[in-house]
Amino acid sequence: MQNIVILGAGQAGFQTAASLRQLGFDGTIRLVGDEPGLPYQRPPLSKAYLLGKTDTAGLQFRPDTYFADSRVALIEDTASAIDRTAKRVSLARGEALEYDHLVIATGARNRLLPVPGADLGGVMGLRTLADADRLGEKLKQVEDVVVVGAGFIGLEFAAVAATLGKTVHVVELADRPMQRAVSAAMSDCFTVAHRNWGVTLHLGAALARLTGKRQVSGVELADGSHIAAGLVVYGIGVQPNAEIAQAAGLHAPNGITVDAFLRTPDPAVSAIGDCALFPCAQAGGQAIRLESVQNAADQARALAANLTGTRTPYTALPWFWSDQGDLKLQMVGLSKGHDRTVTLGDTGARAFSTLLFRDNRLIATESVNRPADFMIARKLLGTPGRALPTPDEAASESFDMRAWEK
Ligand code: FAD
């Protein structure tokens, strides 16, 4: 194989190119991305970047010299179609790229608000550097901010806006924040923290419409109440950029279906990162999509290894983090289906970990401001066959995570 084309120059696409070179791949690598500038990391966009603690250069994975030095051709264009028979990708500006292997790493895009007024000025999502720049400018002009969706990105942004002195309201349909992803104990901790930072949380609240003429002036909830806002930021989930794969005849129900080697049924096409629907070892082989740096980067490394000769299935342990105010949340494993939790540390002091069990087996942990617990849990859950604490052991007075590290 001499010629690899990668669609999407985000976390997964960039890492694939970098790992291929690290592993000695000597052929052609073309990295096609539809965003301007050098590939960059997204997590700081909703954290340090909006607070002015890092600049654009600080977001970039590598400086521009890297691409020339590593012979990674960065092509700023949109891939518009894949011809799998001819093994060729068409780009929007008219160029066509032939490939021996095609990596689809097109990520995901924000779901739009499904209510009247969603197209008013001042209603914004946060996915790209361009979004963050627009948002940063708008933040300077407004005092009242409404965030729709109390997921990770919405809450990170809410914490930033509160730090910048704005009046912040968060509207969430579920009855607790980050409901899909964290335990009730962790939601409670973040509810209290956001309230202490001055954020007003409207939980179990449905959005009816956005008000305003051309610019948004506020949001109206289903109970008829109105909250004034010069800026509405939505974070209500994403949908995978899978249409290009679907149009090429690949199966993509909610993400592009791949096997344990991250290949589609076409052996010349793989998909990784936010856009890939893959059989997850930690979910008992069930096909899932994960939206995280860990998943994008580890899948890229695994695919690069497979493309350069090591045929191993992708089994990496999922982990994730979120920074909100002075709270650092770190999670490892998949908590879905947990039936028991044990809390270590002091929830009141906002430094604790929750261990999550299913059928008496440790399946995940969540830590806030306890990085050592997170690191130990990564070791425990990431090493097959390793002895794990039972819920009763974890709940005992003398339990110490560090004893399990050895
Ligand atoms: P992306 O990084 O989205 O890259 C895909 C790229 O492909 C994009 O540039 C897209 O424009 C481009 N593209 C799409 N279609 C085409 C096409 N047809 N042609 C050419 N290019 C195309 N994860 C964490 O683990 N921790 C965090 O704290 C965290 N914080 C986040 C904060 C924000 C604001 C955001 C938006 C995400 C955050 N994430 C976080 C998630 C993480 O950034 C993503 O999971 C990760 O970027 C996924 O990588 P990817 O390469 O699959 O997709």
Mapping DSSP onto H, E and C, the string for 123-157 reads EECCCCHHHHHHHHHHHHHCCEEEEECCCHHHHHH
CB-count exposure of residue 398 (10 Å: 0-12, 13-18, 19+):
exposed
245 Cβ closer than 6 Å to some ligand 1 atom: no
207-232: per-residue pLDDT in tens?
A: 999 999 999 999 999 999 999 999 99
Give the ligand 1 atom nearest the CA of 300.
51
Q: Report CA(294)–ligand 1 centroid distance (Å).
A: 12
Q: Is the pLDDT of residue 87 over 80?
A: yes
Residue 1 is predicted with a pLDDT of: 78
Residue 384 is predicted with a pLDDT of: 87
| Residue of 111, 274, 278, 288 to mutate, ligand 1, most atoms within 8 A of C-beta | 274
Task: Give the residue whose CA is nearest to atom 44 of ligand 1.
Answer: 292
**48-62, 188-202, 322-336, 344-358: which range is least confident on average?**
344-358
Mean pLDDT calculated for residue range 135-153? 97
Q: Is the pLDDT of residue 310 over 90?
A: no
- Class (C level, CATH) for 3-109+239-307: alpha beta
Residue 404 is predicted with a pLDDT of: 86
For the chain, residues classed under CATH 3.30.390.30 are 326-404
Mean pLDDT calculated for residue range 306-319? 95
39 Cβ closer than 6 Å to some ligand 1 atom: no
348-359: per-residue pLDDT in tens?
A: 888 999 999 999
For residue 96, which of 86, 106, 105 has the smallest C-alpha distance? 86
280 Cβ closer than 6 Å to some ligand 1 atom: no
Q: Report CA(112)–ligand 1 centroid distance (Å).
A: 17
- Class (C level, CATH) for 112-234: alpha beta
Give the ligand 1 atom nearest the CA of 8.
7
For the chain, residues classed under CATH 3.50.50.60 are 3-109+239-307, 112-234
Q: Is the pLDDT of residue 406 over 80?
A: no
CA 43 to chain centre: 8
Residue 331 is predicted with a pLDDT of: 98
The CA dihedral of 5, 9, 14, 17, to the nearest 10 degrees, is: 10
232-266: per-residue pLDDT in tens?
A: 999 999 999 999 999 999 999 999 999 999 999 99
Give the ligand 1 atom nearest the CA of 126.
34
300 Cβ closer than 6 Å to some ligand 1 atom: no
358-389: per-residue pLDDT in tens?
A: 999 999 999 999 999 999 999 999 998 899 99
Residue 403 is predicted with a pLDDT of: 87
- For domain 326-404, give the CATH superfamily: FAD/NAD-linked reductase, C-terminal dimerisation domain (3.30.390.30)
